[in-house]
Amino acid sequence: MTRQFGLIGHPLGHSKSPVMHEAAYKDMGLDAVYCAYDISPQELGNAIRTMKVQGIDGFNVTIPHKVAIIDYLDEIDEDAEAMGAVNTVVCQDGRWVGKNTDADGYIESLLPVVSDQSLTGRRVLVIGAGGAARAVIHALGKQRATISVSNRTAEKAQELAQLFSHLTIEAIPLNEAESTLGTYDVLINTTSVGMYPDTSKQPIALDRLKQATIVSDLIYNPYETALLQEAKQRGNRILNGIGMFVNQGALSIEHWTGRKPNRKCMERVVRMHLT
Ligand code: ATR
């Protein structure tokens, strides 16, 4: 029987998840479909009831439902609990279990470019304090990094540092982040600044960047943001968000099927569909 997977979010017009997942299933020889369901916050309860009746096998959850979905689940795992957000639901024998593959998906993309593949004790600056920053900070915490978080709205960075106070983390103002930039091993942009179509913007000035710092941006459309372009020109190692996107999707498939999809094939398809 054809297995039914999908994605709920709003709006979903731009999502590359359906083409990425269907390419992976085809490559795996898996008889499955992946449908995008554009569901507004007001429709969430009804949509969930319909999905339960129809017997979906698993689904991804994106903005704005990553937190609200938790109320409809039977259980959430440790990662989802720590992030307070779910991006993957596994439906098994009528039980719905919430997971979050964003943190591990990000770390899987970052570790190969870090020397010794270790972040223990490394100084990492995270720009932004939204949902994406939470996933990245949780991931960095699992790797025992030393974290600074900085955000346009400083109070939100402070709240995040408080939430993750069991980690080595501090909140700092953006001007301090800029002036101490030379002390970091990794710089990560988790904000939407620089995302298509507003591609000329940068979330932080790079004047004090040292050459050994890895510069990472969660954005993958454009493929290289203005931040990454400048860092590359300065001779720094850069990492865009496509790896995280592909890995979080691949980890969802692993939860649903117990099988490892071909990440290279998934990435190729996403790149092909970028504007
Ligand atoms: P996500 O779940 O993708 O992280 P979010 O929770 O809406 O989305 O968070 C967006 C992040 O991008 C926030 O850190 C936000 O900063 P504020 O907390 O000050 O709003 C940041 N952001 C968005 N637009 C920005 C802009 N034009 N300049 C600076 N930061 C911006």
Pairing of strands 88-92, 95-99: antiparallel
What HEC string does 95-147 produce? EEEEECCHHHHHHHHHHHHCHHHCCCCCEEEEECCCHHHHHHHHHHHHCCCEE
pLDDT grade for 142, boundaries at 50, 70 and 90: very high
What the block records as the tokens of 50 is 């319909």
Confidence of residue 237 (pLDDT cuts 50, 70, 90): very high
CB under 8 Å to 134, separation ≥6 — which residues? 83, 84, 85, 160, 163
Residue 159: the pLDDT is: 98
Average pLDDT over residues 10-27: 95
**Domains along the chain with CATH numbers:** 3-99+243-274 (3.40.50.10860), 104-240 (3.40.50.720)
Closest ligand 1 atom to 201 CA: 27
**Would you place residue 66 in the very low, low, confident or very high pLDDT band (cuts 50, 70, 90)?**
very high
Contact 273, 122 (CB under 8 A): no
CA angle 164, 165, 171 (to 5 degrees): 80
C-alpha 69: how far from chain center: 17
b/e for 190-199, b at 16 or more Cβ within 10 A? bbebbbeeee
Contact criterion met (CB below 8 Å) for 62 and 132: no
Average of per-residue pLDDT across 139-164: 98
Q: What is the mean pLDDT of the segment spanning 259-274?
A: 97
**Which residues does a 6 A CB cutoff place in the pocket of ligand 1?**
128-133, 151-153, 156, 190-193, 203
223 close to 194: Cβ distance less than 8 angstroms: no
Tell me what the mean pLDDT of segment 12-27 comes to.
95
pLDDT at 212: 97
Q: Does residue 210 carry a catalytic annotation?
A: no
Would you state the structure tokens that stand for residue 168, as one six-digit string? 């080595």
Higher pLDDT, 105 or 13: 105
Look at residue 97 in the predicted model and tell me its pLDDT: 97
SS3 of residue 64 by DSSP: coil
Q: How many whole angstroms from 254 Cα to the centroid of ligand 1?
A: 30
What one-letter code names the amino acid at 100? N
Cα-Cα-Cα-Cα torsion 71, 61, 221, 131, nearest 10 degrees, comes to: 20
Provide the mean pLDDT of the chain. 97
Residue 108 corresponds to which tokens in the numbers above?
């899987």
The atom of ligand 1 lying closest to the CA of 127 is 14
